[in-house]
Structure 1
Amino acid sequence: MAQLSGHPVGPPPCAPERERTSHLLLRAYAVLVVFSGLAYSWWYNLLGPIGVAALLGVLTAATLGIWIPRIARSRGDEAFSWRSLPWAALGYLTLALVSVTWSEWPSATATTWVVLVSFTVQGLFLASSLTWTELVRALESALRWIMGLSLIMEAAVALVLRRPLMPNFFPLDGEPDAHWYWVRGNLFDAVLIGPRIQGIVGNSNLLGFLCVIALIVFAASLRQAVLGRRAREAIAMHIAWIVLTAWLMLRAGSATAFVSGAVCVAILVIALVTRSQSTSLGRARAYAIFGAIVASCALTVALTYDRILTLLGRSEGLTGRDGIWEAVTARAVERPVFGHGFSSPWVPWHEAFDGWIVDHSITVFQAHNMWLDVFLQLGAVGVALIAIIFGGAVWRSWFFAVDRPRWDARSDHPYSPLSLLPLLVLWALLTQGMTESNPIMLWGWMLVTAFSFKLVASPVLAYPESAGPRRSRRRVFPSPARTDLP
């Protein structure tokens, strides 16, 4: 007969098992890799093209030196999952390499392909070497460094230097176009809405979008901390980083970031409502309702497009992007099947791109639309591969977010807040891809590759035991007479 007791029945508390130093170093290195990827333009503005190429080579060699022995040593359940590799992404990588045979800019194709391979390797390395929780922690730490350094650098330029800072610390020659500046030094010119800041990445649009990614990661970590009953100081620190990031996002003033953030909020609401449905019929109704809402919103946007651009302060052809799209489209349709050859980003000093499209006295190095960019480079075949890559990743991330985790016979395991993160980040990248080409190159491609691999290799994210529901200290345990019960 079960007896009610106020005495705890669990084992006495003890310190958790200490992590190996090698794994702690691996996690620290992962933070460096993520930071270097997300803040790639910081290194470019700091070290120049030769310096950043050397850094990229060193990090790639270090990653391979760490990763290959780990793959060779892996056995049993921890063996490397070759079948889980994102084969569509690797197919796109192969097509980009093969395009050198018909490319109009073969040297640019070879150069940028090496860069693409480097970021692909980093994405696969992160996904295979870290757990979901560790991957999120690496993202969180790297984004904290970016947000914190952006604030420090903007403040230092505004208070100490007191003039704009040029990339690679070039001396100011007259008053060049403001788009040339690394940091403009206008952090304290307004409180909320005012002159746009650029942070350590040297670009307002990029800083704004990184703020969107940071808000997703920080919010998920905050929810995890609250449910895990972390100390008040830790929760307060999470909130402080969210407030700082939201302020930097406002000061960056990126319309793309605002739209991406709005889309992520909508996707979050849809995912949470879908989670709450316990039957297939309930989910079907939710899908039908949200499908109708999305269709209505799309129709409204199409009918009021010009007014929306005016509200966002981008009434003049999306800040010149329409002219870029027209020029790229006119060139892309000349070779609609396989394109003119891979180059992401465009190499601005190559004769094929130097002076082709100029905006604010700067040679443009992307089409400012990832689909159009792929169509120019790899034609309809490349567009189909990118659609498969993003479509598969979004499909898996959706069910990763809305389906309850199952690793045994139970069907009532609680959701983890971190399971929403891949879905929201991928949708943010897709939204950004309408006006930027970042999702198909550099750090955007690294994130897509990492999530595509991780969602297949580790399709279940277990809820941490420490974050489970609160339970009473009173326990019911079997009577000593019932020896047949565990």
Structure 2
Amino acid sequence: MSAAGAPRPTWLGTLLASAAFARAYTVTVLAAVLSSFAIERMSGRVTYVAIIAGLCVLGIGVLIARRREISFVRLVPTTLVAFVGWALASVFWSLDRTDTWWSWVAMAGIVFLAVVIGHIRDTLQTVRALADVLRVLLGVSLGLEILSGILLDIPFRFLGIQGNIADLGPIQGMFGTRNMLGFVAVIALITFMIEYRTQAVRPGVSLASVVLAGSLGVLSDSPTVLVLGVGMGLATGALTLVRHARREQRSALQWALGSLVVVGVIVGYLARHPIIAFINAGRDFSLRVDLWNVMLDYVVRRPVQGWGWYGPWQETGIPFASINYQLGEVYGTGLNAFFDVLLQLGWVGLILFIGLVGTALVRSWLDASERRSVVYAWTPLMLIALMIDSFFESFTLTGAGLMLLVLCAVRAGQSRSWRERVDRGRDAGLPRVPAGG
């Protein structure tokens, strides 16, 4: 017993509460989730599930060991609780309750890991950990592509690598598809640039990292990379303009930028056909439109509650098997996060999902526009990248995309939330501890 009468921490508690363990845990979680495709292809899904389950158990231990420094009032944003709770409720009206239950458990595991990271690492520490992981994974992807397409000249079918790097793409790396590689490359570019601006690593490392991510993004030949690049460039410019504006001018500037976004979305929709032709994505977009139209036919049958939460589509599940049969294709997702949520969780789920993303984006954007450090720009830029990509893929609903979304939502909720005011009010009533006490 200690002098104050409280039990002394055990060696396990001390280890789980240490900063070194927090960094190792964060790097391990990010590496495991981002490498999910490669892990499943090489060792099977059971191995990946065992890794995630083990990390969740460790995460529970970390939260218990750090319980005195974590505010459980601010542990999870309300919007996230509502969305995950509605997905759980869909078990009761799903046509396959067992699959829906286990799909929800898989989602809850990723959400929990993101919540743990959001509370044991600050924004800069998260950026550095993510940058380290992305450098390794992108480097391995490039090495595998060179080995497959140049040195051995044979495809690595077990990893989905076609060996097209000698023809300048498209390449997939260790992420399964060119669109996923392009998405990861854009996320890496954002992270590497923030890392460079904060001087977290040497300039040479930052430059090499940016060249690596940019090269793989181009070689992926993914149509979404160009759209993401343009969108992120505009978002970065707008955020930079707001950050350098005078405080009394920021409110008017924010409204003006918001109006421009609305006008831009309308113009982009009206000019969608020339834009699609310019980026040479006519066939991809045509396939997506056909898929979305069929999905909407099934949404009409269950407009409010949806068909139940599955995340990635089940090959024999309803309505996914019916949609694929009707189109004569084998789709694993709805190729649009919003349509996927609408199909699986109905209009209620879509409203909750938009509320989760919108609230996190507004909070993080306002926070980044007022804070001096550029590291706070990482959260809103990451959310914007996730939302732009959600119009073309469903990465945001599973795996690394879901983890980044939840991590950003937790981070945003820590700075601008009613929970923060509750904590401040509670702390204000506590007696001050003398220095050294």
Distance verdict in 2 for CA 1:50–1:21, change over 3 Å: closer
Q: Is 1:394 aligned with 2:366?
A: no
* Cα separation, partners in 2 of 1:301 and 1:57, compared to 1, 3 Å: same
Q: Please say if residues 103 and 340 of structure 1, whose CA atoms lie closer than 8 Å, have aligned partners that are also in contact.
A: yes
Match in the other structure for 2:39 = 43
Q: Give the conservation status (yes or no) of the 8 Å contact 1:270–1:290.
A: yes
Looking at structure 2, the residues matched to 328 and 28 of structure 1 have their Cα atoms a distance apart, in angstroms, of 42
Structure 2 matches for 1:95-244, cutoff 5 A? 95-167=86-158, 182-190=160-168, 195-225=169-199, 234-244=202-212
SS in 1 for 2:342: helix
SS in structure 1 opposite 2:176? coil
Q: Residue type matched to 1:61 in 2?
A: V
Structure 2 regions of 5+ residues with no counterpart?
A: 1-14, 418-437
Per-residue deviation, 1:398: 0.7
The question of 1:278 aligning with 2:256 is answered no
The TM-score, its normalising length taken from structure 1, stands at: 0.78
Q: 1:400 to 1:292 in 2, by over 3 A?
A: closer
Question: Within 1, Cα distance between the matches of 2:315 and 2:58?
Answer: 29
Given that 2:75 and 2:115 are in contact with CA atoms closer than 8 Å, whether structure 1 keeps it comes out as no
Query: Where in structure 2 are the equivalents of 1:52-91 lying within 5 Å?
Result: 52-71=48-67, 74=68, 78-91=69-82
Partner of 1:328: 295
Shift of 1:90: 1.6
Question: Within 1, Cα distance between the matches of 2:285 and 2:176?
Answer: 20
| Shift in CA distance, 294/450, structure 1 to aligned 2, threshold 3 Å | closer
**Cα deviation per residue 1:270-325 (whole Å; 9 max; x = unaligned)?**
11111222142x23443454345434433432332111111111112515111111
Larger radius of gyration: 1
Q: Count residues in correspondence.
A: 403
Q: What pairs with 1:449-468 in structure 2 (closer than 5 Å)?
A: 449-458=406-415
- Residue 363 of structure 1 aligns to a residue whose secondary structure is coil
Structure-2 separation of matches of 1:92 and 1:36: 24
In the other structure, the counterpart of 2:28 is: 32
Instruction: Name the residue aligned to 1:423.
Output: 380
Aligned to 1:338: 305
Q: CA deviation at 1:344?
A: 0.5
Give the Cα separation in 2 of the matches to 1:256 and 1:317.
10
Q: Which residue of 2 aligns with 1:437?
A: 394
Structure 1 window deviating more from structure 2 (48-57 vs 372-381): it is: 48-57
The residue type paired with residue 312 of structure 2 is P
More helix, by proportion = 2
- From the superposition, tell whether residues 294 and 395 of structure 1 become closer, same or farther in structure 2 (CA, over 3 Å): closer
Q: Structure 1 residues 188 and 329 mapped into 2: Cα distance closer, same or farther (>3 Å)? A: same
Partner-residue secondary structure (3-state), 2:173: coil
Of the candidates 222, 234, 238, which is equivalent to residue 254 of structure 1?
222
Say which of 376, 379, 395 aligns to 2:346: 379
Quote the offset at 1:200 in angstroms.
0.6
Distance 1:56 1:122 in 2: 9
Relative to structure 1, is the Cα distance of residues 458 and 21 closer, same or farther in structure 2, using a 3 angstrom cutoff?
same
Summarize deviations over 1:41-97 as a string: whole Å, max 9, x none: 2222222223322222222223223333322xx2xxx23342352122122212111
Aligned residue for 2:175, secondary structure, equals: coil
The aligned residue for residue 5 of structure 1 is: none
Q: Which amino acid aligns with 1:50?
A: V
* AA matched with 2:228: S
Contact 1:355 1:363 survives alignment (8 Å): no
Distance, in Å, in 1 between the alignment partners of 2:381 and 2:176 is 25
Cα distance in 1 for residues equivalent to 2:72 and 2:226: 38
CA deviation profile, 1:106-143 (whole Å, cap 9, x unmatched):
22201211110110111101001112221111111111
Query: What is the alpha-carbon distance in structure 1 between the residues aligned to residue 163 and residue 109 of structure 2?
Result: 33
Residues 219 and 242 in structure 1, CA contact (< 8 A), matched pair in contact too: yes
Pair 1:385–1:21, CA change in 2 (3 A):
closer
In structure 1, runs of 5+ residues without a counterpart are: 1-18, 169-181, 405-414, 461-486
SS at 1:357 equivalent = helix
Please, which moves more after superposition, 451-460 or 317-326? 451-460
Structure number with higher relative contact order (C-alpha < 8 Å, ≥ 6 residues apart): 1
